[in-house]
Amino acid sequence: MTNPTHGNQTHESGIHHITALTSNPAKNVAFYAGLLGLRLVKRTVNFDDPGTWHLYYGDGIGSPGTILTFFPYPGLAPGRHGIGQAVEITFAVPQSALSFWIDRLVTHRIDFEGPIERFEQKVIRFRDPDGLQLEIVADSSAPAVVPWSNMPVPPDQAIRGFHGVTLWEENLEQTARILTEILGYRAAGQEDSRFRFVARTDHAPGRIVDIRHIPGFWTGASGAGTVHHVAFRAADDAVQAAVRERAAHEGIEVTPVRDRNYFRSIYFREPGGVLFEVATDSPGFAIDEPVEQLGTGLKLPAWLEPRRASIAAILPDLGIDAAPLSEEASG
């Protein structure tokens, strides 16, 4: 029997989205859509817990590789960063834009570290209001941004999606095997305790996964300011099925395909404990509202529409104008 790891279907496209936890949805919107200038491309709910928001930020159309999402739980206690977590989320900007971002953080009184050098690129480090660890890297190969009207940051300075994400791990080899044998990454270098893996795709956002090998460090704990999961791209259902087959061949328990309305997903935990998702590129965020109206109203999957009024009644305020939540916005 042929090992599916070496079959014809390969997974080469990098990060699809990253999902984290926040304790204050209004501050979250102000920080990511205001300070960082990302577009709020979708207001929906956590399909597994529809009493809370699921907020999606990205470029002008929510392109895979640009999407940072949050589950807001007001008053959620802070988490603890540690091994078994994705910890550092890194955004890419053009090399010429780094000074703009330093000035912007200073103006908004956001503490930051750097610039430091990492793999011959300049990086600044800071945190969001919940303590989520964020970075901006000056990247000469950062792809062009997909603009939208009323961008709060000039397009030539804007964030260009993810540069990558960093996993904190007790065991390097086991997680590296998942990245290379199942998700199609290749090893691309080491600096101190940081090991770099790169997707086999050029000029796409979110190509990089770093592993910080820190055996003996404390274990992370879920809470506000921590990453819930990292999702990797599958170009289509066939590629996703091939990834699922490879994971199952390695003895990893993988969920059935779940319909997330804007993509289809499978989930599994890598050996170090980080929850991985593999999400299809299609159908995308314009399936239920026009591109020019992305993120302006509460969007629910068909099976939750009968509960719209009761769901809308308990969702916390986001601090921004929107279409009435209890009415279905036109799409």
Statement: residue 29 has pLDDT above 80: yes
In the sheet with 39-46, reading across from the earlier edge strand, the strands are 39-46, 49-58, 67-72, 15-22, 227-234, 275-280, 264-269, 258-259
Q: Residue 177 and residue 180: Cα distance in Å, rounded?
A: 5
Residue of 254, 55, 68, 291 whose CA lies nearest to 163: 68
Q: What is the CATH number of the domain that holds 109?
A: 3.10.180.10
Residue 18 confidence (pLDDT)? 98
Statement: residue 5 has pLDDT above 70: no
If you search the block for the tokens 């660890």, which residue do you land on?
Answer: 133
Q: Residue 109 and residue 113: Cα distance in Å, rounded?
A: 13
Q: What is the mean pLDDT of residues 45-58?
A: 94
Type and span of the H or E element at 312 = helix 308-314
In a domain, 327, yes or no: no
Type and span of the H or E element at 70 = strand 67-72
**Residue pLDDT, tens place only, 138-193:** 999 888 889 999 899 999 999 999 999 999 999 999 999 999 999 999 999 999 99
Using the CB atoms, write b or e for 289-318: b if 16+ within 10 Å: beeeebbbbbbbeeeeeeeeeebeeebeeb
In a domain, 244, yes or no: yes
**Radius of gyration for the alpha carbons in the chain, expressed in angstroms and rounded:** 19
- pLDDT-derived band at 201 (thresholds 50, 70, 90) equals confident
- Evaluate the CA torsion angle 275, 260, 200, 245 in order and state its sign: positive
Q: What is the mean pLDDT of residues 9-13?
A: 53
| Higher pLDDT among residues 49 and 331, named by residue | 49
Q: What is the mean pLDDT of residues 302-327?
A: 81
Q: Three-class SS of residue 309? A: helix
Query: How many residues can be counted in the chain?
Result: 331
Residue 144 confidence (pLDDT)? 86
In a domain, 144, yes or no: yes
In a domain, 325, yes or no: no
In a domain, 321, yes or no: no
- Evaluate the CA torsion angle 177, 178, 183, 189 in order and state its sign: negative
- If one counts the domains in the chain, the total is 1
In a domain, 323, yes or no: no
Residue 143 confidence (pLDDT)? 86
**Bridge partners, residue 88, by sequence:** 133, 166
- Evaluate the CA torsion angle 267, 268, 274, 280 in order and state its sign: negative
If you search the block for the tokens 């989930």, which residue do you land on?
Answer: 267
Q: How high is the mean pLDDT of the chain?
A: 92
Domain containing residue 182: 4-314
CA 6 to the chain's CA centroid: 28
| Higher pLDDT among residues 250 and 16, named by residue | 16
In a domain, 329, yes or no: no
**Torsion over CA of 52, 56, 57 and 62, rounded to 10 degrees?**
-170
**Residue pLDDT, tens place only, 108-150:** 999 999 999 999 999 999 999 999 999 999 999 888 889 999 8
In a domain, 127, yes or no: yes
Statement: residue 331 has pLDDT above 60: no
